[in-house]
Structure 1
Amino acid sequence: MTSNQKQYTSFLFILFGILFYISYENSSFALDKIDIKTNVPEKINPVPFVPQYPKGKFEYIVITEGCNFDSLGLCISAHSGPGEKNEKVYELETGMIFKIKSKEEKNGQIWYHVHFDEQLRYPDRTVKDWYIPAVAGRVVSDNGEEVLSSFTPATSKRIIVDLSDHMIYAYDGDKLFMTTKVATGVKDAPTPLGTFTIYKKTPSRYMQGPLPGVTDTPFDLPGVPWNMYFTKDGAVIHGAYWHDRYGTNQSNECINLPPELAKILYDWAPLGTVVTIQN
């Protein structure tokens, strides 16, 4: 073979190799080839994003098997320790809610250790630790206390409370979400008029009185449910398990709803929701 023939043969071989490579790269097989280094397909179908909704940070027990405010007879009680032989510290009422610190078992029965980690106005009136039998209620999760900050997103939601007819109206823009009768402040501790903002939310609050500058009446209300604070003086939209006198003046500045409706409003209204109190 002459040198010219060898060069021509080499040229054909190179040309054939180039054509084969181009054909291979454009083939359907190439689109699915495996990278040896990673053993992962170079081209794969995208996996649809599925959002994850984490549970709340804390667990709470909502009392569902307690006494009602007008009940007669025996009530399920919280005790000073796990087990019914321990001292009774409080008769539980339906609608209360308590933050769970731990869970313990005693004689085959589950007990929830609840702890008042909030600052009590009159701490000498109660023991700090209660034990509640699991049969008294159901466990829910929540993020706990939340406070308005500069990072809180803006919202179009707003709440109007009309003191003249004891009604609450919850709007998202111009769309009415909920309306119901509420209890509002008594003559000596009226609900303040004006426009406010929900700046703090907490699922459970131990409310005590007297309140300096508000009322001289003593009271103890542990486990007040679904609290939304709108004044620094302590005016709150919350559930009330101790009465059903909605449509009347009943509270110390606050707005009272039935606990189940307070829960719905609590979940719906974010921090920053505007609250307008009018008459």
Structure 2
Amino acid sequence: MRPISRRDFLKLSALALGGLAFTPFLPEITEFEDVNLVRVATKSVSVYRGPTDQSLIVGTWNRDELVNVYAEITADEPKYNPVWYRVWGGYMHRARLQRVKIHYNQPLTVVPETGLLAEVTVPYSQAYHNSPLDGWQTTYRLYYGSVHWIVAVEPGPDGQPWYRILDELDEATYHAPAIHLRPISPEEIAPISPDVPLEKKRIEVALNTQTLTCYEYDQVVFQTNISSGIAGLSGAGGASTNTPASNFNIIVKMPSKHMGEANLAAGIDDYVLPGVPWCSFFTEEGHAFHGTYWHDNFGVPMSHGCVNMRIEEA
């Protein structure tokens, strides 16, 4: 694949930011730029006449559809997550909806040889794999808030600047529109409270209340609700989906991790989670604290054993 010259880049950048509505390779999301949006993050979510699941179902939205939110309502149920969204025709509970925004980015002219982390800033970006035999083929969808390693900027299937992404799970590469990804600066991933010794920091997770508390010098500095593993299920290879209860140390931190299967031909309903952000692994079996872009149902177990957190809190 040929590199982009400076002349080509300037031409392509103007096209990328000025012709968004005219390329078949971008999802049709430009009309939603100035409204409050949620993305349906599961196969389907029902619309109820009132803010309760005992109300009449009056509609359904399907995976990855974008819904305009008119208001946020705090209802009586469920107690752990009582927030509902008023939408066209009724109300949707936020459990399986992801709050999203739309922000387009100026593409970089060059990516350092070491690569860069970049965050998806649109509801989703359809990635493509360039096969020598079959040409450009769709692969994963990259979701809002997910983080990926970009290793090059190259012409995409529409001739505009796309970033080549390296997937650490199987070292496959694929491409996504550069305007959909925001490069992350080193300052954004600098350690928190670097002057506090490691032995004076700790995280406590209360599985019975689904809460997480961070301490420095035995003083609470942060607290939130989380989603731990669903008890009694079997994960990959028959492994338990319980979150283990014990004392652990953080083994390794990864700003981006592909979880689930590695399959470039996977469908959007398969268990494929590229770019899971801000992972801190605490067992050799792969249990981690990490950001979550596939639900907003914190306060109740939802995971395969990890500790799910809001992306901005992970």
Alignment TM class, shorter chain as reference: 0.5 to 0.7
Q: Which residue of 2 aligns with 1:169?
A: 213
**1:105 deviation in Å?**
3.8
Contact 1:60–1:142 (Cα < 8 Å) also in 2: no
Q: Which residue of 1 aligns with 2:204?
A: 160
**1:177 deviation in Å?**
1.7
**1:258 deviation in Å?**
1.1
Contact 2:261–2:271 (Cα < 8 Å) also in 1: yes
Identity of aligned residues (%): 31
| Alignment RMSD | 2.7
The answer on 1:111 being equivalent to 2:167 is no
Q: Which residue of 1 aligns with 2:129?
A: 80
The answer on 1:91 being equivalent to 2:141 is yes
Cα distance change on mapping 1:168 and 1:154 into 2, 3 Å: closer
C-alpha distance in structure 1 between counterparts of 2:126 and 2:275, whole Å:
13
Q: Which residue of 2 aligns with 1:205?
A: 257
Q: Which residue of 2 aligns with 1:37?
A: none
Alignment deviations for residues 71-114 of structure 1 (CA, whole Å, 9 cap, x no partner): xxxxx3111149xx932212221121111111124566321100
Secondary structure of 2:248's counterpart equals strand
**1:253 deviation in Å?**
1.2
Alignment deviations for residues 32-55 of structure 1 (CA, whole Å, 9 cap, x no partner): xxxxxxxxxxxxxxxxxxxxxxx9
C-alpha distance in structure 1 between counterparts of 2:221 and 2:164, whole Å:
36
Cα distance change on mapping 1:142 and 1:228 into 2, 3 Å: farther
The runs of 5 or more residues in structure 1 that have no matched partner are: 1-54, 68-75, 121-127, 144-152, 211-217, 263-279
Secondary structure of 1:195's counterpart equals coil
Contact 1:59–1:142 (Cα < 8 Å) also in 2: no
C-alpha distance in structure 1 between counterparts of 2:184 and 2:258, whole Å:
18
**1:176 deviation in Å?**
1.6
Contact 1:58–1:142 (Cα < 8 Å) also in 2: no
Alignment deviations for residues 141-160 of structure 1 (CA, whole Å, 9 cap, x no partner): 459xxxxxxxxx74411100
**1:175 deviation in Å?**
2.2
Contact 1:58–1:141 (Cα < 8 Å) also in 2: no
C-alpha distance in structure 2 between counterparts of 1:224 and 1:167, whole Å:
21
Q: Which residue of 1 aligns with 2:227?
A: 183
C-alpha distance in structure 1 between counterparts of 2:186 and 2:147, whole Å:
12
C-alpha distance in structure 2 between counterparts of 1:247 and 1:111, whole Å:
38
Cα distance change on mapping 1:155 and 1:142 into 2, 3 Å: farther
The answer on 1:102 being equivalent to 2:152 is yes
Alignment of 1:129-140 (within 5 A): 129-140=173-184
Alignment of 1:249-268 (within 5 A): 249-262=301-314
Q: Which residue of 1 aligns with 2:276?
A: 224
The runs of 5 or more residues in structure 2 that have no matched partner are: 1-111, 188-196, 233-240, 263-269
Letter in 2 for 1:232: E
Cα distance change on mapping 1:142 and 1:219 into 2, 3 Å: farther
C-alpha distance in structure 2 between counterparts of 1:119 and 1:173, whole Å:
40
**1:58 deviation in Å?**
4.3
Secondary structure of 1:251's counterpart equals coil
**1:207 deviation in Å?**
0.8
Secondary structure of 2:145's counterpart equals coil
Cα distance change on mapping 1:97 and 1:158 into 2, 3 Å: same
Contact 2:243–2:306 (Cα < 8 Å) also in 1: yes
Letter in 1 for 2:242: P
TM-score (norm 1): 0.57
The answer on 1:66 being equivalent to 2:123 is yes
**1:197 deviation in Å?**
0.2
C-alpha distance in structure 1 between counterparts of 2:207 and 2:168, whole Å:
34
**1:250 deviation in Å?**
0.6
Contact 1:65–1:135 (Cα < 8 Å) also in 2: no
Contact 2:117–2:183 (Cα < 8 Å) also in 1: yes
C-alpha distance in structure 1 between counterparts of 2:198 and 2:215, whole Å:
15
Secondary structure of 1:260's counterpart equals helix
Secondary structure of 1:247's counterpart equals coil
Cα distance change on mapping 1:246 and 1:154 into 2, 3 Å: closer
Alignment deviations for residues 231-266 of structure 1 (CA, whole Å, 9 cap, x no partner): 11111000110111111111111100111111xxxx
Letter in 1 for 2:219: K
